[in-house]
């Protein structure tokens, strides 16, 4: 879809907009890849770069548990510790993170005209820090993170919570996403979905 087509669809159908963060609002995938690689190395593990997109949309704790299991280190490495170390490493490389220009244009166009929400699989502290770093926090009325739901993407709970807090029926919400789990979560929530991968630069994981 072109931006003009997105604007037309929003104007005709939407009463609220919901944005995933990583790979949608922000071009942050290279930073996350570096952070996970460094965090795993600190625990004597190797991060499987080829699985980066497989993990897209999952919470960091869920990813940490799977990485530990894949490495055969269950009971030896604490998932919470690995997840926390990843967040620390991400803060160290946060200067790599940039807004996605087309998505930021949509946010700016509809701020004050429609309620805007962030629905992400990240922890709240990390989410807020990145939004503040990029001067984006001021645009959003609602922020729902991995800390706010028990079932994460591809379950619809994150986006349904966004809709509930915005006071907008799910079928009048437009979700902007890049990851297949997030796209599936939006579809399960009965929302209108825009896949933003057309606006993202390619990232090499090999």
Q: Which residues are catalytically annotated?
A: 20
Residue 26 backbone zone (phi > 0: left; psi -120 to 50: alpha; other: beta):
beta
State how far the alpha carbon of 115 is from the alpha carbons of 31, 49, 50, 104, in Å: 29, 36, 37, 15
State how far the alpha carbon of 83 is from the alpha carbons of 37, 60, 77, 192, in Å: 12, 6, 11, 32
CB-based burial label for 54 (10 Å; 0-12, 13-18, 19+): middle
- State which H helix or E strand residue 88 sits in: helix 79-92
Q: What is the DSSP letter of 177?
A: E
Residues in the chain: 206
């Amino acid at each position: 879809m072109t931006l003009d087509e997105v604007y037309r669809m929003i104007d005709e159908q939407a009463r609220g907009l919901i944005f995933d963060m990583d790979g949608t609002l922000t071009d942050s995938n290279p930073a996350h890849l570096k952070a996970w690689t460094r965090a795993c190395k600190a625990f004597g593990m190797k991060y499987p770069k080829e699985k980066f997109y497989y993990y897209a949309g999952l919470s960091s704790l869920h990813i940490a548990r799977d990485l530990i299991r894949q490495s055969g280190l269950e009971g030896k490495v604490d998932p919470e510790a690995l997840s926390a170390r990843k967040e620390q490493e991400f803060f160290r490389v946060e200067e790599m993170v940039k807004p996605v220009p087309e998505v930021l244009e949509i946010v700016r166009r509809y701020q004050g005209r429609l309620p805007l929400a962030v629905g992400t699989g990240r922890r709240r502290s990390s989410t807020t820090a990145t939004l503040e770093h990029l001067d984006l926090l001021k645009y959003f009325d609602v922020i729902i993170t991995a800390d706010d739901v028990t079932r994460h993407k591809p379950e619809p709970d994150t986006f349904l919570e966004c809709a509930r807090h915005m006071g907008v029926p799910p079928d009048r919400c437009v979700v902007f996403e890049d990851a297949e789990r997030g796209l599936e979560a939006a579809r399960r929530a009965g929302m209108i979905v825009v896949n933003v991968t057309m606006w993202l630069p390619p990232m090499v994981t090999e």
